[in-house]
Amino acid sequence: MSDPVILTELWRGPFLECTHSGHAVICDEAGQIVDAWGEPNALFMPRSSAKMIQALPLVESGAADAFGLSREQLALACASHLGASMHTDRVRDWLTALDLGDADLRCGPQMPQDRAAFNELIRSDSKPCQIHNNCSGKHAGFLTLSKHLRGGPEYVDFDHPVQLASLAAFEDVTGETSPGSGIDGCSAPNPACTMHGMARAMAEFAAARDGADARQSAMVRLWQAMVAHPDLVAGDRHGATALMRATNQPVAIKNGAEGYYSAIIPGLKLGIALKVMDGAIRGSNCTIAALLIRLGVLDADHPTARRFVNAPILNRRGLETGVMKPVDSLL
């Protein structure tokens, strides 16, 4: 296996000060590698970058239609949101429609990353609830599927019907038998796959045709929901939301913890999987933006592209001290 390669560099004046290394794979609709950096067979858990895969059983089982889920709710099922009111209000209403509440979630409480929501909790001397958890939309989707399957309340257990369906979908679209799963930050199982497998899965989403079969129709509905509601998938300050708004054609982009990113590009029928080894969001943001520029779906001169690629580093006086940029081979 190959070692990770440098993907992003930080320069201070004329000196290279820091690098972010990792792996990246671009796949086509046939599952073939178009481009790769590092080791395509490197094995990782894609963390929240796999949420659209985990949401597949929610749609293809008929649960989404049985419970009348909206496009906004499907976007939240794929989301790592910031806990803003636009996120938490919708998740709370979703749970209420299921005759459920915060106590039925198994994701755990989390302070919101949204500044207004954070400040409101501090001012009111209140504690966060599970609905504030960035994965609460995914868990509302799990609960919906659990009701549809008449599963028990512990829907994050490995042997629960929800997780068995999620793992089956994951292995099917990655084209791999997962060697195992870890427990994600939200307590749900997170199976591992290769970088190639994840890029293959994203390309399958990109090439899916609505009406072809239940799986492909579910894929189309999910990526279209993400593209229609990028603010629900992450939030106003987040790179994934900003990049989805900036691309010149529909692209579903999903961040995951520890430097993971995935992207679905339906217009090109391509999928991307990216892992930055040190987990730094600045490195993964720069690298995914560079890959989108490379593929022609993001204009290099767009303000959002300039925010991440060849972005000036400013000190506390606003003086430019350096630059963050992708390595030449990415562009």
Return the percentage of the chain with pLDDT > 70, whole number: 100
DSSP state of 224: H
Mean pLDDT, the chain, integer: 97
How many beta carbons lie within 10 A of that of residue 121, not counting itself? 16
Whether pTM exceeds 0.85? yes
- What is the pLDDT at residue 2? 74
User: What residue type is assigned to position 134 of the chain?
Assistant: N
Nearest to 262 by CA among 50, 36, 44, 20: 50
Question: Residue 234 — φ and ψ, nearest 5°?
Answer: -140, -90
Nearest to residue 261, comparing CAs of 46, 37, 55?
46
Residue 4 to residue 16: CA distance in whole angstroms: 18
Q: Where are the chain's structural domains?
A: 44-280
How many residues are given for the chain? 331
Pairing mode, if any, of strands 193-194 and 252-256? unpaired
Contact 107, 133 (CB under 8 A): yes
CA distance 72 to 89: 12
Q: How far from each other are the two terminal CA atoms of the chain, in whole angstroms? A: 24
pLDDT, tens only, 268-322: 999 999 999 999 999 999 999 999 999 999 999 999 999 999 999 999 999 999 9
Q: What's the pLDDT tens digit per position in 167-194?
A: 999 999 999 999 999 999 999 999 999 9
Residue 1 reports pLDDT greater than 70: no
